[in-house]
A = this chain, B = another copy of it.
């Protein structure tokens, strides 16, 4: 029998207890071993909950119980989640987690500790909720150089952008609706300002490129400045506006960023709507593959955590192959100013100017799309650096520049 402890009995933690109970027979058949939830650590009491009797408040009971071999950490936040995870690994217990904050900030260190102690540190649920992404990236693409990652990594913002697209609703109204439905937090900053997606893209970049960048060291732009008219104009040009976590190697350095982007309707990411997530990987042998599914939610996220629990138990002999990445230093990180891509500009039409695409090309260079939309001008340029885009924007009234994917 394998004893598992759950740290944090919130949404995902209670989901893990539910999956392990409801699908106990499937999991035990796969493992040919019995699984038992021995403890659930939480500060709160849960009177009347079917797992009430397992709830404890003292982490040391778990840490010091040699019978507990797998710990599932779903506490959220960096501390004490990181500290508890580290202590468990050092005590020879495998740790699985959905905590993207800990993985993004301390993943490299925790993986090293896990390796030194012959145990597992797994985090499938930290990116893309229930979507299989980390294990397929490490195992199924094992013979590939991964060259590029583009992902819709946050369900809340994708829900808001989808509503803005399909219903022509304004950002603030959709945010309120999403909060009322429970898709967005009361304090939505981590979602709508892009930090949640930033944590996820740095995890994926670390797996792909072997170097872990702090989410604080990448360019992050959220969706709060997107106007409904921007979405409509982009759509008219054949693009959806999505919040994209993007990473690739540029001259041997890692470029990672989060920003709203125009995704062409021919790109499979453009059709990912609502709270769903999708991750598109480019790799030298396979070409392009995409993984799609529920990027959050109690049972989907718990499904990914439980896959890690199964994996940790199946390889309890230390035979598990963990990913390896080191902490990046400044020389590993590409300068975002040099990043070049096609751009979508939208700016106020000057009432007394007779602007057309020919005149605009004198300023923007070759233009593939041009439209006047009420008192706004929208156009798409060829590739242009961040610096040049910002300089152009500064010259024009009410100008916004979006990157194209």
Contact = CB atoms under 8 A, between A and B. Distances in A.
Interface of A: 19-20, 22-23, 26-27, 30, 124, 130-132, 135-136, 139-145, 266, 268, 271-273, 283-294, 297, 299-300, 302-304, 306-307, 309-311, 314-315, 317, 319, 321
A331 to B, nearest CB: 21
A299 B287 contact: yes
> In the complex, which of the residues A27, A145, A292 has the most CB atoms of chain B within 10 Å of its own CB atom?
A292
B292 A286 contact: no
Contact of A303 (B30, B144, B291, B304): B144
Given A20-B143, A23-B143, A268-B271, 5 more contacts: A132-B132, A136-B136, A139-B311, A142-B311, A287-B300
Nearest to A302: B285
> In the complex, which of the residues A130, A135, A289 has the most CB atoms of chain B within 10 Å of its own CB atom?
A289
Q: Oligomeric state, in number of copies?
A: 2
Nearest to A281: B293
A153 to B, nearest CB: 15
Contact of A289 (B131, B141, B315): B131
A142 B290 contact: no
A213 B298 CA distance: 35
B292 A23 contact: no
A293 B287 contact: yes
A303 B283 contact: yes
A355 to B, nearest CB: 33
A127 B22 CA distance: 30
A136 B140 contact: yes
B293 A290 contact: yes
A254 to B, nearest CB: 17
A284 B27 CA distance: 13
Give me the 4 closest cross-chain CB pairs, A-B, nearest first.
A132-B140, A289-B293, A143-B306, A132-B136
